[in-house]
Structure 1
Amino acid sequence: MQAGVPGRIEVVEVGPRDGLQNEATLLPAATKVELIERAIAAGVRRVEAVSFAHPRRVPQMADAEQVMAAVPRREDVSYIGLVLNGRGFDRALAAGVDEVNVVVVATDTFSERNQGMSTEQGLALWSELAARAHREGVRPTVTIAASFGCPFEGTVSAAHVAELARRIADAGPAEIALADTIGAGVPTQVVDLLARTREAAPAVPLRCHFHNTRNTGYANAVAAFQEGAATLDASVGGIGGCPFAPNATGNIATEDLEYLLTGMGVRTGLDGPALAETGTWIGEQLGKEVPALLGKAGTFPG
């Protein structure tokens, strides 16, 4: 392992939520639960399982309660539910999620498209929901979406994102995730943004969420963990994207990320071949070839 590279990093499986929400094929709840079960069997211990968005806006997530009622409950597995408003928080709490993830979008235009509110209103909502989460004993995390660029407003400054993180930190997040929602970022941006965010919110663990839209997602992931990010998101098969961002293609693939990190001597606790098999399987369920490559090429040495 290289000097300066952490010996271990946590990987959150986001395929059941961010992966499936942008797919045209609507899968039954039982298939979503099997995807989660397969991920857990492959070593995943944090799963972004569902979103409590309005069913008409995101029909792929309409069965969130049904999915959460059927997932295996284990002390070593934490389930994350995405919430966009107070109603979503109520549903998440009733469904028994372990963590709520609230989204604050870095630009007003994208925030209006994604959540029907300005960034300032998103910050106020985060503070309200974080306080509720603390009272209810649910772990509150927050994602700053479009941290590396906005499809409507263009470049997003690192200073602006860091200021958002500083204000978010006032409400006591368990974690701040910096999301490259449209896959626009490059490694130098990652290093700069992580350094600025750490300075703005020094007590909060940082997580990164990368899409491979412009083939920079894996390079960004390397830069993030070398810069000290505690957690990386990935989606088995590399499926996914954001339905409210034009051309926001899939997340980095969990199996390909595992191969990369393991080859660099970083421990993930994940089973790459099992993830690759699951990536191929979910592609079959969706009726498409997934972007992930490990399932096609195999591990090396084989």
Structure 2
Amino acid sequence: MPLPKDTYLEFSLTARRTPGLARNIRRFWAAACSHGQGGIVTTEFKSRSRWSCYTRRPSQARRLLKLFGQNPLRGVTAEIRRLDAGDWRDRWLHYFRPMRFGRDFMVLPDWQKKIPPAAKHCRILRLDPAGAFGSGAHETTRLMIRMLDSLKGRIGSFLDVGTGSGILAVAAALQGAREVWGIDLDPVSVRAAKKNLKLNGIQKGKIVCADIARLPVRKKFDLVAANFISADLITHQAKIAALTAPGGYLAVSGISRRNVPDFLKRFQPAGLRLRKRFPGRSWAGFLYFKGPDYRISTRRCV
């Protein structure tokens, strides 16, 4: 049965902090993310820690609980809680704090009006996640901003596939992209992304609710960003490559470091070559380039 509007399920792991705990927790979440889950929120208490993720799909929450049952961790408690709109909003109000994002930005929650001293030399990026993935805290999102930083000043048009909160579209626009697009399957994410573009005064953005598998290729972009799990990147590689303009770039993240060898073997989109690797602690990102002569070389191969 689908959940009411603006209602979420929280799947969380809670435990007392002990030596080796963080490593074991990271292993569990790496396995969970290979099953399609991302966006982990860590909460520190006096002597305990809680790792949470949020979903609107009961089947996803049950899958995570089953996965934990198959790989139990000593001293760790797993639970699923239902969060109604007020509970969800209160969680973000309490735990979402200002943070540096890439070289240029300080992400500030929309409800925090006071600019912290640490933001003195940063560009302010206002954000209200509103239930969407992409607060800027997750390592996969931070890898994406590193790739965006590396192309600063060279991007005219930008597409974010699976835009979530729209944080990357906002960053691209603030860095000078003349046109930014975002697509997402989740209507909650689409509403959040539209709101965040507006919060940052961006009028040139377009956010649509769409499935990448069914999206017609009517326009190509200087930079296409895709931050989702390896299996989905591999499945949709032809489409995201087709959306990348000749002379443009494709940035991908969401690849667990243990999956990198298999990913690089299977992710070989036509016309693109790997330009640079962006390793993280638990995740990896890759920047690809599509040569300006791609159409000619394709025609010769036919």
TM over 0.5: no
Task: Tell me the TM-score normalized by structure 1.
Answer: 0.33
**Higher alpha-carbon Rg:** 2
Higher helix share: 1
Task: Tell me the TM-score normalized by structure 2.
Answer: 0.33
